[in-house]
Structure 1
Amino acid sequence: MDPAEFGYSTLEMKHAPYGPITPEALKDSNKGKIAVVTGAAQGIGAAIAEALAKSGASVAILDLSVEKLAKTKEACEKQGVKVRAHACDVTNGGRLKEVFDEVEKELGNIDVLVNNAGILDQRPFIMADFNTFWRQIEVNFKAPLLTIHTLLPRFRDRGAGCIINIASRSATVDVPMTLGYVTSKAALARATHTLQREMVLEKLDPAVHLYALHPGGVLTGMGGSGASQDVLDKYGDVRDEKFFMELFKDGPELCGQTCAWLATGQGKELRGLYLDCRQDVERLLGVGREKLLKEKKNVLTVNFLEGYANEP
């Protein structure tokens, strides 16, 4: 894969919390809110939960086992907020409803949902076990839609809510051997765009605001684990290529603090859009929502040959 195919930024990219999204700038900005973070045991999910706690939100953290959540729970509790840990397979709709009911009973009405749980199997489709491939679609796409479907009626009844879907730059590019991942992340970004349009129909826009967020180049266990030996034997190890490691230069705190900032509502003008947390939020806000939408910026789209569009 040649990264130059997708272009290089000429503007400065952020690789750590900055200006409006630092913990100091967001201190107490989410005080009194209740946030749910899926896949919170480690890496990006743990950083998101801790950033929300630092901004004053009480947090419910979800992962496959409570034991895996111990470190995240401890880090969040140090911020002086209420924290609850729940074991949950996010592809299980019945269990999700139970957990959300428990959260609202223990902490209060949920205000913020961050869909972070995700998996990746680095393997060409022709060599894949279909069930393993499909499991990526279940965790990365079905699960966020289940959480949203469970919470949206509650947000509607209360007239407010924030949903952040952790997407990926992979949603916008073609990356061989990651078909399940790129497909599910593209679907999640498209769902985010469309659901925000539905909030307009429901007269819930902008009170209920959604975002698809690329977390930056974070070398998590998922991204750095590499392919299985049979794939390596046939195709080699992409991690040996110089460009690969250069893609990962961001700490998870950048995504965590961006989520905390979005949860405050300060980024509502960017609702329904696909965001890259390495891009300065103040610069995006400065462009303005109207211009971004008119020029189809920060949305998934297809550029046809000039002259071809839709029938008039």
Structure 2
Amino acid sequence: MDPAQFGLSTRPLQHAPYGPISIEMLQGTNAGKVAVITGAGRGIGAAIAASLAKSGADIAILDLNIANLADTKKECLTHNVKVETFECDVTDEARLKEVFDKVEKQLGPIEILVNNAGVLDQRPFIMSTFSSFWRQIEVNFKAPLMLVHNVLPLMRSRGHGCIINIASRSGTVDVPMTLGYVTSKAALIRATHTLQKEIELDGLDPGIHMYALHPGGVLSAMGGSGAAEDVKEKYGDITDEEFYKDLFKDTPALCGQTCAYLATGRGKELRGFYIDCRQDVSKLLEIGRETLQKENRNTLTVNFIDGYANEP
């Protein structure tokens, strides 16, 4: 895979918090709100929790292993907010219901949901077990939709709320040896587009606003592990994620602060869209929602040859 085939930005990209999403600009902007973040034990999830805490939100953090949440909790508590931790397999619907009930009782109404938990098994489909492939669909797509299904009625009854689905640029391109990942992320992006339209039909737009957010190129344990030895033996010196490590130059805080910014509602004009957090949100807002929609920007689409259109 050659990264250049997908295009190279001529506008400067952001690699760390900047201007409108800086800590100083967002201080106290989410005070009084309750945020739920999945996969918050480390990396991007931990950064999202910390950023929301810095902006004043009380925090409920979930992870498969509660011990992984200790450092995240410690960091969030330094910002004088309430923090609750929950051990939770996000594919377990019964457990999710228990967690949501506890969050509402212990912290209050959930106003922010960030679906961050995800898994990647980097190997060809034919060399995967089907259960391993499907596990990625369950964690990366089914689980976020179950969380949304649980929290959305609560948000609807109050008429407001923010949902951020951590997506990936992988959901917008074809990347061999990551079928489960790219498929699940593409589905999550499409679901975000569609759900925002359903919210609009119910007259709850823009009070309830959703986003599909690419967290940038963050070198995490999931994305930087490279292919397994048996895959390398079969396919030779493949150019996998490990090969592109030099492109992973973004800090987890960039995604964290972008989430805190979106949670404030200041970026509501971008609701329903796929957003790359390396792209300056103020530039997108300058273009305007109407133009973005008219030109099918920041949304999954198919481009046909001239003369053909995607007719109903």
Give TM-score, length-normalised by structure 2.
0.98
In structure 2, the gaps of 5 or more residues are none
**SS of residue in 2 equivalent to 1:98:** helix
What CA deviation, in whole Å up to 9, does each residue of 1:44-68 have, x standing for no partner?
0000000000000000000012111
Cα distance in structure 1, aligned partners of 2:174 and 2:311: 29
Query: Which residue matches 2:105?
Result: 105
What is the distance in 1 between the residues matched to 2:295 and 2:39? Answer: 34
Contact 2:224 2:245 in 1 (8 A): no
Q: Counterparts of 2:170 and 2:268 in 1: how far apart (Å)?
A: 24
One-letter code of the match for 1:106? Q
Corresponding residue for residue 238 of structure 1: 239
1: distance between equivalents of 2:16 and 2:125?
35
1:184 partnered with 2:184: yes
Which secondary structure state, in structure 2, belongs to the residue aligned with residue 238 of structure 1? coil
**Structure 1 pair 221–296 and aligned structure 2 pair: CA distance change class (3 A):** same
Q: Deviations over 1:181-234 (max 9, x none)?
A: 000000000000000000011111000000000000000000011222211222
8 Å CA contact 1:119–1:140 kept in 2: the answer is yes
Equivalent position of 1:163 in the other structure: 163
Which ranges in structure 1 are unaligned for 5 or more consecutive residues?
Answer: none
CA positional deviation for 1:309: 1.3
The letter of the residue matching 2:5 is E
Task: Look up the match of 1:84.
Answer: 84
Find the counterpart in structure 1 of residue 150 from structure 2: 150
Preserved contact between residue 226 and residue 237 of structure 1 (Cα < 8 Å): no
Does the 8 Å contact 1:239/1:245 carry over to 2?
A: no
CA–CA distance in 1 between the matches of 2:127 and 2:67?
Answer: 34
Pair 1:118–1:293, CA change in 2 (3 A): same
Confirm whether residue 260 of structure 1 aligns to residue 287 of structure 2: no
Residue matched to 1:129: 129
Structure 1 residues 310, 218: CA separation in 2 closer, same or farther (over 3 Å shift)? closer
Does residue 199 of structure 1 match 2:199?
yes
Cα deviation, 1:21-76, whole Å, max 9, x if unaligned, reads: 01111000000000000000000000000000000000000001211110100010
Say if 1:279 and 1:229 are closer, same or farther in 2 by CA, change over 3 A. Answer: same
For 1:286, the aligned partner's letter is E
Q: How do residues 1-312 of structure 1 correspond to structure 2 at under 5 angstroms?
A: 1-235=1-235, 236-238=237-239, 244-311=244-311
- Partner SS, residue 49 of structure 2: helix
**TM-score when normalising by structure 1:** 0.98
* Percent sequence identity over aligned pairs: 68
Structure-2 separation of matches of 1:269 and 1:161: 15
For the residue of structure 1 that corresponds to 2:305, the secondary structure is coil
CA distance in 1, matches of 2:98, 2:296: 39
RMSD: 1.2
How far off is 1:247 after superposition? Answer: 1.9
